[in-house]
Amino acid sequence: MKFFKYHGAGNDFVLIDNRGEEIPEERKPDLARQLCNRRFGIGGDGLILIESSSKADVKMRIFNPNGSEPQMCGNGIRCIAKHIYDSGTERDEISIETLASIKDVMVSREWETTYVRVNMGKPLFERKDIPATGEGRLLEEKLEVNGEEFEIYAVNTGVPHVVIFVEDIKKADVLNIGRAVRNNALFPQGTNVNFLEIAGDNLFKIRTYERGVEGETLACGTGITASGVIGAVAGEVDPGEPIKIVARGGTVYIEVEMKDTEIETAFMNGPAELIFVGEIDV
C-alpha cells in the first residue's frame, strides 16, 4: 500500500488516499496503531485517511496512535490540503469535510515552503460544547493537580483544549501535569493540554500534551488555535493583528475575527511539508 509521510510544524502523519475504499472501516483503528508505531511501523502522531465526500472536495479521517478518532486535527488538515494541491488540482482553495465541520482552506507558497490557511470556525467556550462538567464557561477556573493549583482556560477548537499560562515554557512539566489534567474528572471525554508562555507582543511559546498520542507532540494545530483564541480572550494580545505561536516543531499564526467582544472566527496559517513517500505491506 502506498503511503505519504507529512508533517505540519513537526506534527507528523502517515497519509493514505482511501478514496477507493481499500481500507474497510473496521480495520482503521488497528491500522493506525500499526503504522504510527515508531519502532515497528512507519511512525507518526496520527494516521490520516483521505476519503470521498458528498459535501466537500474531500473528507478527512484522522486516527491517533492509540486507535481513537478525534473530530479534527489542525496540522493534519494542512497536510491534506498540501497533498491535494500537489496532486495536480491547480486549486488553491479546497474544502475538507471533518467530523467537526467542513473547513475551507487556502494554499500558498512562500519560498520553498507550503503554507495553508484554515478557517477553523467559531471557538466554543460553553462547558457542554467542550465537553466538561458543570455549567457556563471554563475561563480562569482554579484546578488542583498533583497538589498544585493551576488557573485554566478551556475551549473547543474542533477538539477540547485546556490552556495554562506559564512563566517559563522550558520548565513546564508537560508530561505529568498534562496527563493529570487530560484525565481529570472535569473532562469526561478527556482534553488536550497546552502550556503557554507570553514571549512578546502577540507572541507566544507553546508546548502541548495531546490526548490520543498520550504524550507531548512537537506541535498541535487545534491547540495552537485554542491558545491564540485564549490569548485574545484573556486580553494578552492585540486581536487585530496576527498572533505568532512558536511550537517546538515550528511556527504557526492565528488570526481572530471579533464581533463586538466575542470571537466569531479563528484562522490558522502554518506550514505543511512532504517528508517522503513509500509502500508498506499491511
DSSP 86: I
Residue 73 falls in the annotated catalytic set: yes
Which is nearest to 278 in space by CA: 44, 66, 25?
44
Q: Report which secondary-structure segment, H or E, holds 223.
A: helix 221-233
Q: CB atoms < 10 A from the CB of 47, how many?
A: 29
**Pairwise CA distance, residues 44 & 37, whole Å:** 7
Report the amino acid identity of residue 138.
L
Query: Which one of the listed residues 9, 15, 62, 73 is annotated catalytic?
Result: 73
Residue 79 falls in the annotated catalytic set: no
> Which residues contact residue 65 at a Cβ distance below 8 angstroms, ignoring those fewer than 6 apart?
32, 33, 36, 37, 44, 45, 46, 212, 213, 214
DSSP 27: G
Task: Give φ, ψ of 48 to 5 degrees.
Answer: -105, 130
> Which residues contact residue 184 at a Cβ distance below 8 angstroms, ignoring those fewer than 6 apart?
143, 145, 191
CA dist 265 to 177, 181, 225, 256, Å?
30, 27, 11, 6
Query: Which one of the listed residues 77, 130, 220, 252 is annotated catalytic?
Result: 220
**Pairwise CA distance, residues 80 & 102, whole Å:** 13
Q: Return the C-alpha cell found at 184.
A: 481529570
Per the DSSP assignment, residues forming a β-bridge with 95 are 104
**Pairwise CA distance, residues 103 & 226, whole Å:** 16
Active site positions, annotated: 73, 220
